[in-house]
Amino acid sequence: MAMKRCPVCGERYSDTYRYCPFCEEEDLDREEEVRRAPPRSGRRVGVGSGRQPNLVTPTLVVLILFMAALLVYLLWGDKIADKFGKDKEPDDKPGVEDPVTPAQPVQKDPVAQDPAVTDPDEPNGDMPDEPVITTPGDTNTTTPSSPTASYESASALPGGLTYTNIRDNDFTRKISEGVYQLKVSGGSGTYTWISEDPGIASVDSSGNVTPISAGITHILVTDGSKKVICTVRVTAGSSTQPAPQPSTPTTTPSSGGTLKTGAATVINGGNGVRVRSGPGTNYDILATVPNGGSVQVVQSMGNDWYEITFSNVGGVTTTGYMKGEFLSN
């Protein structure tokens, strides 16, 4: 085996090598140093000259953070929203109105509403007023009775009108006697006529009262600001009192009554008898005394009206007026 000398490094090597093995080792070492050395500015590093960046780790970190945030939201999201939402909630919410307390219904006077309560002139119902017979030449202007007119509301008007052809605002009429015309004076001269119960006695726009069936009812006439009421007693047989005659109402005390001064009992009153503020049915209603109730007769006021005293609501002694036919002592 022959030996060669390398012309580069001067080392001797076997001729079985094509190249100097010593020079090849130096080349490999030099290449390794070049790989490990940092690249210079402006030089492009070869594929095998540096390490590739690792993208797996940052991706895993981001994914873990996202999963943690999602878990926190699912577990405590509502509590966090409530805590931070309360600080930003305004004091007054738009569109929300304060609750309104409903108004309490007004309690009406039971005396004025009860149609079964008897007035001093009516044993079975409200106090009626007497009809007036119209004579030829009467110039009173009347308006038709409106079906929508309320007897109750009109009866609340103050008195002031006067029937001119009946006595004591009370009269009796047989069915067979037919139509009876009432006359009234005072007020504006334009009147509206209303029957409390047209099934007993009806009235037209001229004050003509037609008896229909046996019973007691009231006829009211008003000019819109004042009123007067009369009692109509309809019978199937003959009349129990004289035919009405014109007279002027009077409140002058009279001693001609049949009742004695002192204690008396209410009779013939059905569900009760109304006490008036004056001796006539055109006066206001003060109260209702039940049938069988006790009163004190003070004096006779004429025309079968009596001044009485009675115990009103709360035990207050009150003075009023009642028809003698509803009293007994």
Nearest by Cα to 172 from 237, 103, 95, 246: 237
Residues belonging to the chain: 329
CATH number of the CATH domain containing 208 = 2.60.40.1080
Residue 223 shares a structural domain with residue 266? no
Query: Per the domain annotation, does 187 fall within a domain?
Result: yes
Q: How far is CA 51 from CA 42, 45, 48, in A?
A: 18, 11, 8
**What pLDDT shows up at residue 22?**
81
Query: Token pair for residue 17?
Result: 């090598």
Residue 157 shares a structural domain with residue 230? yes
Nearest by Cα to 231 from 115, 132, 151: 132
Q: 268 lies in which domain range?
A: 262-328
Centroid of chain to Cα 256: 54
Residue 229: how many CB atoms within 10 A of its CB? 29
**What pLDDT shows up at residue 204?**
94
Centroid of chain to Cα 313: 29
- Provide CB contacts within 8 A for 83, sequence distance 6+: none
Q: For residue 48, give the DSSP letter.
A: T
Query: Per the domain annotation, does 177 fall within a domain?
Result: yes
Residue 159 shares a structural domain with residue 225? yes
Query: On the CB side of 53, how many CA atoms lie within 13 Å of its CA?
Result: 3
Residue 221 shares a structural domain with residue 166? yes
Query: Per the domain annotation, does 37 fall within a domain?
Result: no
Nearest by Cα to 125 from 283, 301, 281, 257: 281
Residue 170 shares a structural domain with residue 231? yes
Query: Per the domain annotation, does 130 fall within a domain?
Result: no
Alpha-carbon torsion 105, 108, 110, 116, what sign? negative
Query: Per the domain annotation, does 17 fall within a domain?
Result: no
Q: What's the total number of domains in the chain?
A: 2
Sheet holding 170-174, edge to edge: 141-143, 190-195, 215-222, 227-235, 170-174
Query: Per the domain annotation, does 293 fall within a domain?
Result: yes
Residue 164 shares a structural domain with residue 230? yes
Residue 286 shares a structural domain with residue 323? yes
Nearest by Cα to 317 from 280, 282, 281, 287: 287
Residue 220 shares a structural domain with residue 295? no
Residue 228 shares a structural domain with residue 267? no
What distance in Å separates the CA atoms of residue 51 and residue 214, rounded to the nearest whole number? Answer: 126
Q: Which residues face 210 on adjacent strands?
A: 202
Alpha helices by DSSP H, listed for 90-170, are: 110-113, 151-155
Query: Per the domain annotation, does 116 fall within a domain?
Result: no
Burial class (CB in 10 A: 0-12, 13-18, 19+), 295: buried
> How big is the CA angle at 43 (ends 41 and 47), to the nearest 5 degrees?
130
Residue 229 shares a structural domain with residue 266? no
Paired sense of beta strands 12-14 and 170-174, if any:
unpaired
Paired sense of beta strands 162-163 and 3-5, if any:
unpaired
The answer to whether 130 touches 89, Cβ cutoff 8 Å, is no
Mean pLDDT, contiguous 10-residue spans, the chain (329 residues): 81 81 75 68 50 78 93 87 68 52 53 49 45 43 47 88 88 90 90 93 94 93 92 74 42 52 88 88 88 91 90 87 91
Query: Per the domain annotation, does 77 fall within a domain?
Result: no
Residue 231 shares a structural domain with residue 267? no
What distance in Å separates the CA atoms of residue 19 and residue 86, rounded to the nearest whole number? Answer: 86
**What pLDDT shows up at residue 86?**
63
CATH number of the CATH domain containing 304 = 2.30.30.40
The answer to whether 132 touches 183, Cβ cutoff 8 Å, is yes
Nearest by Cα to 310 from 329, 328, 326, 286: 286
Query: Token pair for residue 32?
Result: 């390794």
**What pLDDT shows up at residue 87?**
57
**What pLDDT shows up at residue 104?**
60
**What pLDDT shows up at residue 142?**
45
Longest dimension (CA), the chain: 186
